[in-house]
Amino acid sequence: MTSRLMFRVLAALVAFTVLARIPVGFDVGFKFDSALAVIWAFGLLSLVLLTGYVGQISLCQATFAGVGAYATGLMVAGFHTDYLVAVGVGVAAAFTLGVIVGIPALRLRGITLAIVTLGIALVFDRYVFQDHAFEWFTGGTAGWRVDRATMFGLQMDSSKHLMSAYIVLLALFCVVALLMVNLHDSGAGRRLRAIRDSELSAATMGVNLTRYKLLAFGMSAAIAGLGGSFYPLVAGSVSPQPFWLFTSLQFAAIAVLMGVRYVPAAALGGVFMAVVPDVLTRFGHGTFMGHAYEISYDWFQIAVGVLLIVQLIALPDGVWGDLRARVRHARSAAGAIGGRKVKVA
Amino acid sequence: MGAFAAYTIIGLGLGGIFSLAALGIVLIYRTTGVLNFAHGAMGMFSTFVAWQVFYGWSHPFWPTWLATLLAVLAGLIFAAVMGLFLEFAVFRWVRTREPVVKAVITIGVLLALQSAASLIWKNNQYHLPIYLAPQQATFQLAGVPIGANYIVIVIMALGLAFGLGAFLRYTSFGRSMRAVSDSPTSASLWGVPVNKVSAVSWMLGSLVAALAGILITPFINFDTTSLTLLIIDALAAALIGGLVSLPLTVLGGFLLGLLETYPTIWIQSLGFPRLVALLVIIAVLIMRNPRGFAVASK
């Protein structure tokens, strides 16, 4: 084990221990928010892989999460399987859809791929998740209700055991995030990044474009689906609303805003996406200097849109990327005084 | 047979609206290189402004034509100002960036506009149409009644396509716009006012989007999302035109309108037309050589 890997494992463990304790003192609403934050963080992490590493744009990540959620709901509510089995089925369903979406991506890139994925998100939002023809999959307009769920033989349903669901989610997120960070420098990661920089030169150097692009789409969809497949456990039911088109667009916007090339930015974005709207709806009303005011959920999406525009003009590498660059700059400036050796990566 | 003809007319009307929406996308894309995902949202916002003037602020004693005129004027003026504002505040600063970055910025615009509208007008469904032609007026063509509003839409789509085409081809400003679309750098070296050209195309594009939005109000129960999501049909039509050709775009719009309408004879589903649009997009992208989108790869 290299020292770098050990440092990363240690960082993930510390992050897990600290984050697992944070929601303990709060009420159910905030516990739900923290679990939701991890689910959204999975969606953003899937974009770090797809956009940050491989350079493919996708506007249908919430669709993958939704397919994972519905497949899991179908397995638990329809076939009464163990929740772990259901999650496996959900992830597999998302992976399959990801590979299918990846097929047109073999020939498309950039904005044409954005158009196709937008269309896919819209078809699932308006048609598959809502139409009578797919009721066997979506459980009708009411969706699947997940009242009882067992995992490892333990009761895990949302009403009483929200914290245990949160801890399982968080542990999974830390593992996947660690794998993602390690992927960045591995052989496969280098091939993926070669595709991002230039497909032509990557193919010239012997990277199998078809295989790696399909794999990237599949893995990315599986990560989003892994988060989504915990949604029924956390929320107690599945409905189309959390996975509609605008969630996909918010995923893309927030991933870019926070820094689409960095794994920790996904966690930051997940917290932002889950906690800020809830705080707004809870505390966003009252009176200020004699005037009643109300800040509704809509202000969150307005803020996301405006911040995204400002960020793309001013800080192209995202919030996390910019912070990181500043910290590195300060450190290297301080290190220069002490004569620190410069490591050439 | 009568039903078939009726569906054809509905499809052509819908297609006219898709064409109008797509024309704005193509115009903005050609001259500024921005693929505008917020096009539907921009049209939606202007439509709601017109709707507000027509149903909210009009005096009940005003004749309908006056209220309609004022509403449409208010919507169009708002659209023009919004287009200019977006160019000055946002897109002027990212002119040299990659097309994907510009497209992601338009997603930010989409999210902000959509939420702002749902903040002001709530998430209600409205069916309070603004008719540009009298609602009851119909024409008979071979025994099939055709509503005057359909004819207005079709004429407007065709007129705007050929009008814009002629404007780009025969006026000196249109020549500047085409020069900028070929290469902004060399155009500016030849003394073409690039900033002015791009401001005008944003204004025109936004105007056309507003027009499409106002014209669609008689057809659907509209809310802030459904008008925003018109973007996918508009993009499909624009892709048929290769994101370049105005006449092909209009043709694509009509074709898509018909393709989305005929299945509703058998399939009663609100979502099914979206699937048709997606299939059209994929078919067009697979059949056309990706290099055909010359501007797209620039």
- Kindly tell me if the per-residue pLDDT of B164 is higher than 70: yes
Cβ contacts of B236 within 8 Å, gap of 6 or more: A119, B18, B252, B256, B277, B278, B280, B281, B284
Do A319 and A268 contact (CB within 8 A), yes or no?
A: yes
Which chain A residues have a beta carbon less than 8 Å from that of B269? Answer: 127, 131-133
Smallest CA–CA distance from A300 into chain B, residue: B115
Sign of CA dihedral B178, B182, B188, B189: negative
- Kindly tell me if the per-residue pLDDT of A295 is higher than 90: no
A280 vs A246: CA distance, rounded Å: 18
The residue type of B254 is: F
ipTM, interface predicted TM-score of the complex: 0.89
Percent of chain A residues past pLDDT 70, beyond the cut: 93
Q: Number of Cβ pairs closer than 8 Å across A and B?
A: 147
- Kindly tell me if the per-residue pLDDT of B226 is higher than 60: yes
Contact check, Cβ <8 Å, B290/A107:
yes
Contact check, Cβ <8 Å, A114/B275:
no
- CB nearest to A110's CB, from B93, B236, B296: B296
Check residues A285 and B92 and name the one with the higher pLDDT.
B92
| CA neighbor of A308 nearest in space, from A263, A252, A248 | A252
pLDDT at residue A1, rounded to an integer: 60
A89 confidence band (pLDDT: 50, 70, 90): very high
Instruction: Kindly report the average pLDDT of chain B as a whole number.
Output: 84
- Residues of chain A whose C-beta is under 8 A from some C-beta in B? 57, 59, 104, 107-108, 110-112, 114-116, 118-120, 122-123, 126-128, 130-133, 245-246, 249-250, 252-253, 256, 296, 298-302, 304-309, 312-313, 316
Question: Residue A180 to residues A185, A228, B173: CA-CA distances in angstroms?
Answer: 9, 18, 52
pLDDT at residue A171, rounded to an integer: 93
Contact check, Cβ <8 Å, B275/A123:
yes
pLDDT at residue A342, rounded to an integer: 54
Which chain A residues have a beta carbon less than 8 Å from that of B104? Answer: 57, 252-253, 256, 308, 312
Sign of CA dihedral A89, A65, B39, A258: negative
Under DSSP, the state recorded for A33 is: H
What tokens does A192 get?
């993926």
Closest CA–CA distance from residue B275 to any residue of chain A (Å): 6
Which chain B residues have a beta carbon less than 8 Å from that of A103? Answer: none
Question: pTM for this structure?
Answer: 0.90
Contact check, Cβ <8 Å, A309/B225:
no
What tokens does A222 get?
């599986």
pLDDT at residue A102, rounded to an integer: 92
pLDDT at residue B263, rounded to an integer: 86
B9 confidence band (pLDDT: 50, 70, 90): confident
pLDDT at residue A108, rounded to an integer: 83
Indicate which of B28, B39, B115 best probes the interface with A, i.e. most A CBs within 10 Å of its own CB: B115
Q: State whether residue B229 is helix, strand or coil.
A: coil
Which chain A residues have a beta carbon less than 8 Å from that of B295? Answer: none
Sign of CA dihedral A129, A132, A137, A139: positive
Contact check, Cβ <8 Å, A298/B275:
no
B98-112 pLDDT, tens per residue?
Answer: 888 899 999 999 999
Q: What is the mean pLDDT of residues A73-86?
A: 88
The residue type of A298 is: D
Contact check, Cβ <8 Å, A119/B281:
yes
pLDDT at residue A265, rounded to an integer: 93
The region of weakest confidence among A8-12, A64-68, B150-154 is: B150-154
Percent of chain B residues past pLDDT 90, beyond the cut: 31
Question: Residue A148 to residues A153, A155, A215: CA-CA distances in angstroms?
Answer: 12, 7, 34
CATH number of A26-283+295-336: 1.10.3470
Cα angle A307-A312-A315, degrees, rounded to a multiple of 5: 95
- CB nearest to B278's CB, from A108, A123, A302: A123
- Domains, chain B, ordered by start: 2-292 (1.10.3470)
Which chain B residues have a beta carbon less than 8 Å from that of A256? Answer: 104
B17 vs B208: CA distance, rounded Å: 10
- Kindly tell me if the per-residue pLDDT of A152 is higher than 60: yes
Q: State whether residue A127 is helix, strand or coil.
A: helix
